[in-house]
Amino acid sequence: MEPWEEEGPEVVKRFMYVNRKPPYGTIYALETLEVVLIAAAFDQDVSVVFVDDGVYQLKKNQDTSAIGMKNFSNTYRALDDYDVEKIYVEQESLDARGLSAEDLIIPVEVLTAENLSEIMAQQDVVISS
């Protein structure tokens, strides 16, 4: 057995990715989604949070034809394939934008800002975009 093949204690970190930006106009949303999928592929404990205009990333029926960008919102469905099950949306952000969980493309857990901060405090790494 080669040294890199030796079995050792597996180190799993709790990563939380906080999405605050709208889905289009910057690269943040798509790049963060790609990073989440990569981290999940390496068997890390990944959770994803959508707050502020980040909730628009999950909105159903996005039409991007007028801005000439590819609609990547269906890619969020791949989170389930990568066993990313901790997907949170802030209730206050939905309310401020007239949205509800039914308006979103994937199932999420809707939490208050207070509950989200408690979960955030339990993470090893928090990355905000």
Question: What are the tens digits of pLDDT across the range 67-82?
Answer: 888 888 889 999 999 9
pLDDT score for 125: 95
pLDDT score for 68: 81
Mean pLDDT, rounded, for 25-31: 90
The alpha carbon of residue 115 and the mean position of all alpha carbons in its chain are separated, in whole angstroms, by 17
Distance set, CA 20 to CA 10, 72, 78, 79, 129 (Å): 31, 17, 20, 18, 6
pLDDT score for 126: 96
Q: Which CATH superfamily is domain 12-128 in?
A: DsrEFH-like (3.40.1260.10)
CB-CB contact of 106 with 87 (8 Å): yes
Question: Would you say residue 64 has pLDDT above 90?
Answer: no
Distance set, CA 98 to CA 32, 59, 108, 113 (Å): 24, 11, 17, 17
Segments making up each domain of the chain, as ranges: 12-128
pLDDT score for 69: 83
Question: What are the tens digits of pLDDT across the range 107-126?
Answer: 999 999 999 999 999 999 99
Question: Would you say residue 94 has pLDDT above 80?
Answer: yes
The neighbouring-strand residues paired with 47 are: 16, 86
- Three-state secondary structure along the chain? CCHHHCCCCCCCCEEEEEECCCCCCCCHHHHHHHHHHHHHHCCCEEEEEECHHHHHHHECCCCCHHHCCCCCHHHHHHHHHCCCCEEEEEHHHHHHCCCCHHHECCCCEEECHHHHHHHHHCCCEEEEC
Of the chain, the percentage scoring pLDDT greater than 70 comes to: 91
